C-alpha cells in the first residue's frame, strides 16, 4: 500500500527526520489559509497523488503570495495529473502547502527490501531529484549501497559511510547519519517495503531536510499496523483492485480482455503466460487462494466481471486445498445471481474434480469445460474473438 507524501513526512518526522513545515488542504481557499498560517514569503504547493514525477507534470509549484498559492492549488484540484510513472494519471483531491526551501544540494536516499538476499538495502546518491531507475541505468557508480542485516540493524558506521560517500561536509556527517538511521527505524517499525527521500536536500543554512518522501507498506503486515492502514486513500487506487481487496481477494488489473479466476500466484503466472503464448491478452487475474468456499468463488467471479473490458472469463483451478466441487458451486451461483452473458471457460483439476465437473454439466449452463491449461487459453481466445465480432456486427 502506498501513502501520500504529506503522510510519509508526518511519519518520518515522528521518528526524527527533519521535514519542511506544511499544511494539508482540500480546497484552494484552504491552501491560501495554510500559507498564511505557515508564514514566510515563499511556499511550495504540491499535488498529493500516489506518483512521483509530479514536478515535471505541473504538480509542484513555487509561489510568492497567498493568492498565487490559491491559484496554483486551483489549477491542481480535480485535475488528473498525468506523470511519467502513471500514464493514466491520478486525480488530485489533496494539496500540500509547504514553506519553500532555499536548496543548495539535492541528494537521494532510499531503503528497499532485497528479497533474494533476505536483507535490507540502504541506497544514497549525490544525484538527487532524478528517478532512481534512471540513475541506476545511466550512472550506476553514483549510487552507494549498504546492506543491512535486519536482526543487527543499520549501524552508525554504515550510516556515516553513506554520508561520506555522497560528499557531505564533515560538519554534516553526524546530522546525516542521524537522519538516515531515523528513516531506517521508521521503515522497520512500520513494516514498510519501500522508503524514498528524493530529494534529500542541503539547504542554504546547511540543514539537511527530506524535501520529498515516499513510503509503501507491506499489505500483509497492515493487520498489525492499524494506524498505517488508516492512511489508505482509495481515490489513488485502481478501483478494480480496491473492490477485490475489500472482499479479501487478491486482484491484479491488466489491460486485455480475458478475465481470469485462478488459485495461487504461480498458477496465475502460468495462465497469463499461456494466454499470451496463444495470442490473447489477460484483463486481470483474481487469486481465490486456498480452501475457497463457493461464496468466495462467487465474489471472485463478480469482481472479475466488474471490469467492463472483460469479454470472456477463464477459470483455471488446480485444486489441492481447494475443492473443485466448491469452485463449481460458486460458478453456478454466479450465473444464477448475476446475469452472466459472457462466455465462460473452466478448467478444473485436482481435489473432487469429478464432482465439480458433474455440477457444471448438470447445471445446464453454457459453460465450456476443458481439461488442460493450453486448451483453456485457446478456447478463451476463440470465445473472446466471437464476442468482439458479435459486438462489431451489432454496431
289 binds, among Mn ion, ligand GDP, none (CB under 5 to 8 A by kind): none
CA distance to 24, 148, 257, 260, 261, per residue, from 310 (Å): 39, 44, 4, 9, 12
Q: Contacts with ligand GDP in 126-165 (CB under 6 A)?
A: 129
CA distance to 156, 254, 352, per residue, from 309 (Å): 52, 10, 32
Residue from 66, 106, 329, 333 touching ligand GDP (CB under 6 A): that is 106
Q: Which stretch binds ligand GDP (CB under 6 A): 49-57, 136-144, 164-172, 323-331?
A: 49-57
Q: Is 76 in the site for ligand GDP (CB under 6 A)?
A: no
- Rounded to whole angstroms, the Cα distance separating 110 from 20 reads 18
Q: Which stretch binds ligand GDP (CB under 6 A): 54-62, 218-226, 284-292, 357-365?
A: 54-62
| Smallest distance, ligand GDP to C-beta of residue 34, A | 14
- Rounded to whole angstroms, the Cα distance separating 68 from 76 reads 13
- Rounded to whole angstroms, the Cα distance separating 288 from 193 reads 24
Nearer Cβ to Mn ion, position 120 or 211? 211
User: Which among 106, 127, 196, 378 is annotated as catalytic?
Assistant: 196
Q: Give the helix, strand, coil percentages of the chain, each rounded to 5.
A: 40, 25, 30
53 binds, among ligand GDP, Mn ion, none (CB under 5 to 8 A by kind): ligand GDP
Q: How many helices (H) and strands (E) does the chain have?
A: 13, 18
Known active-site residue 108: yes
196 binds, among Mn ion, ligand GDP, none (CB under 5 to 8 A by kind): none
For residue 179, which of 341, 386, 383, 17 has the smallest C-alpha distance? 17
Here the cell at position 137 is: 541505468
Residue from 54, 181, 323, 379 touching ligand GDP (CB under 6 A): that is 54
Nearer Cβ to Mn ion, position 18 or 153? 18
**Residue 142 φ/ψ, nearest 5 degrees:** -85, -5
- Rounded to whole angstroms, the Cα distance separating 183 from 103 reads 21
Task: Show the site string, 179-218: x = touches ligand GDP by CB under 6 A, - = not.
Answer: -------------------xx-----------xx------
Task: Show the site string, 281-310: x = touches ligand GDP by CB under 6 A, - = not.
Answer: ------------------------------
User: Which among 5, 6, 106, 108 is annotated as catalytic?
Assistant: 108
- Rounded to whole angstroms, the Cα distance separating 167 from 146 reads 16
Interior CA angle at 159 toward 158 and 160, to 5°?
90
| Smallest distance, ligand GDP to C-beta of residue 211, A | 5
Q: For residue 79, give every residue at least 6 positions away whose Cβ sits within 8 Å of its Cβ, in sequence order, or none.
A: 47, 91, 92
Q: Is 101 in the site for ligand GDP (CB under 6 A)?
A: yes
Known active-site residue 93: no
Which residues does the annotation mark as catalytic? 108, 196
Binding site for ligand GDP (CB under 6 A): 44, 52-55, 60, 62, 100-101, 103, 106, 129, 198-199, 211-212
Amino acid at each position: 500500500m502506498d501513502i501520500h507524501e504529506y503522510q510519509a513526512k508526518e511519519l518520518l518526522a515522528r521518528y526524527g527526520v527533519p521535514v519542511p513545515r506544511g499544511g494539508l488542504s482540500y480546497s484552494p481557499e484552504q491552501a491560501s489559509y495554510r500559507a498564511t498560517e505557515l508564514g514566510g514569503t515563499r511556499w511550495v504547493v504540491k499535488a498529493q497523488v500516489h506518483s512521483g514525477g509530479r514536478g515535471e507534470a505541473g504538480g509542484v509549484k513555487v509561489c510568492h503570495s497567498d493568492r498565487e498559492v490559491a491559484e496554483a492549488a486551483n489549477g491542481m484540484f480535480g485535475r488528473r495529473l498525468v506523470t511519467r510513472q502513471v500514464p493514466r494519471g491520478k486525480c488530485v483531491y489533496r494539496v500540500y502547502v509547504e514553506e519553500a526551501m532555499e536548496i543548495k544540494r539535492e541528494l537521494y536516499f532510499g531503503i528497499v527490501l532485497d528479497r533474494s538476499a533476505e536483507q535490507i538495502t540502504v541506497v544514497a546518491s549525490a544525484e538527487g531529484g532524478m528517478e532512481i531507475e534512471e540513475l541506476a541505468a545511466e550512472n550506476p557508480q553514483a549510487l552507494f549501497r549498504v546492506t543491512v542485516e535486519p536482526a543487527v540493524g543499520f549501524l552508525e558506521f554504515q550510516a556515516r559511510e553513506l554520508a561520506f560517500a555522497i560528499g557531505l561536509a564533515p560538519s554534516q556527517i553526524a546530522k546525516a547519519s542521524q537522519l538516515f538511521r531515523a528513516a531506517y527505524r521508521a521503515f522497520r517499525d512500520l513494516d514498510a517495503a519501500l522508503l524514498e527521500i528524493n530529494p534529500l536536500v542541503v539547504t542554504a543554512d546547511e540543514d539537511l531536510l527530506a524535501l520529498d518522501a515516499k513510503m509503501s507498506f507491506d499489505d500483509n503486515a497492515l493487520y498489525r499496523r492499524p494506524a498505517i492502514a488508516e492512511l489508505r486513500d482509495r481515490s489513488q487506487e485502481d478501483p478494480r483492485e480496491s473492490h477485490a481487496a475489500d472482499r479479501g481477494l487478491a486482484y491484479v488489473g491488466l489491460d486485455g480482455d480475458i478475465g481470469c479466476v485462478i488459485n495461487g500466484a504461480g498458477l496465475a503466472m502460468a495462465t497469463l503466460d499461456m494466454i499470451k503464448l496463444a495470442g490473447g491478452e489477460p484483463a486481470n487475474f483474481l487469486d481465490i487462494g486456498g480452501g475457497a468456499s463457493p461464496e468466495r468463488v462467487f465474489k471472485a467471479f463478480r469482481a472479475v466481471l466488474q471490469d467492463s473490458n472483460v469479454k470472456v472469463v477463464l477459470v483455471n483451478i488446480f485444486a489441492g486445498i481447494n475443492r473443485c466441487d466448491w469452485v463449481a458451486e460458486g460458478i453456478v451461483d454466479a450465473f444464477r445471481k448475476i446475469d452472466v452473458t459472457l462466455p465462460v471457460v473452466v478448467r478444473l483439476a485436482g481435489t473432487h474434480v469429478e464432482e465439480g465437473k458433474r455440477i457444471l454439466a448438470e447445471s445446464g449452463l453454457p459453460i465450456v469445460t476443458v481439461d488442460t491449461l493450453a486448451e483453456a487459453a485457446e478456447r478463451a481466445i476463440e470465445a473472446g474473438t466471437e464476442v468482439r465480432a458479435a459486438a462489431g456486427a451489432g454496431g
